[in-house]
Amino acid sequence: MNKSHEDPVLEANLEQQLHAALGLPSDPELAADWLLSQELSELGPEPLTKQVRDRYLRSTRQHRLRRTPMLGWALAASMVAVTILAVVLRTPEPAPLTEAEQFELALQTLDDTSKRALAITGRALNEHIRWPTIELEPSPYNRLIRSFGRLQALNSDRPIEPPKES
């Protein structure tokens, strides 16, 4: 039996046997263990007296009550904070417009919208339309025109002479 100190498997088995045994085991060591176990079981818990039970109930209830107002306060504080935030962050309602202002606003909106539409359409079309490059053919009379131009310029610099009397 002393070997049991070195063998956890045997000890576990013996412990199981001890608890399953309905009477005194034949092994003297195990019998002594069983007797001690029986003796210890007589020192088991007794039901709570009414006084102790009431004391436990009272203390847990008091704690619960103490906690409930705290939760209430926390809830109320969060509600107030949310309300304040909502009031502060709310955008002011705009004043009603006069008829002229409404008309102007409508025109402005139309103008803005059409400009934007034109810009978008232009951008979209530009991607797909190939604009023609228009180049003029060189004129065959270029030189004559240029010399004529120079002559005109020279004539304009000359002082105007009065017409001769015949």
Partner 1 sequence: MEQIIDEHGGRLRHLALTLLGRADEADDVVQDSLIKLWHRDEPLAPAHELPWLLTCTRNACLDRLRHRQRTRGLQLKLVHEQSTEAQQPLDNPAEEFTDGQRRRRMLLEALAEMPEPGRSLLILRDLQELDVASTARALQLSENQVKVYTFRARRALRKRIEEELHEQVA
Q: How would you classify residue 118: left for phi > 0, otherwise alpha for psi between -120 and 50, otherwise beta?
A: alpha
- What is the phi/psi pair of residue 7, to 5°? -125, 95
Contact range with partner 1 by CB under 8 A, out of 11-19, 85-93, 101-109, 152-160: 11-19
12 versus 81: smaller Cβ distance to partner 1: 12
Among 6, 22, 23, 46, the residue binding partner 1 under the rule CB under 8 A is 46
Q: 37: Cβ–Cβ under 8 A, 6 or more apart, which residues?
A: 18, 19
Among 20, 22, 40, 134, the residue binding partner 1 under the rule CB under 8 A is 40
Give, as ranges, the residues between 50 and 109 that touch partner 1 (CB under 8 A).
Answer: 52-53, 55-57, 59-61, 63-64, 67
Interatomic CA distance for residues 128 and 122, integer angstroms:
10
Q: Which stretches of the chain bind partner 1, using CB under 8 A?
A: 4-5, 8, 11-12, 14-16, 18, 32-33, 36-37, 39-41, 43-48, 52-53, 55-57, 59-61, 63-64, 67
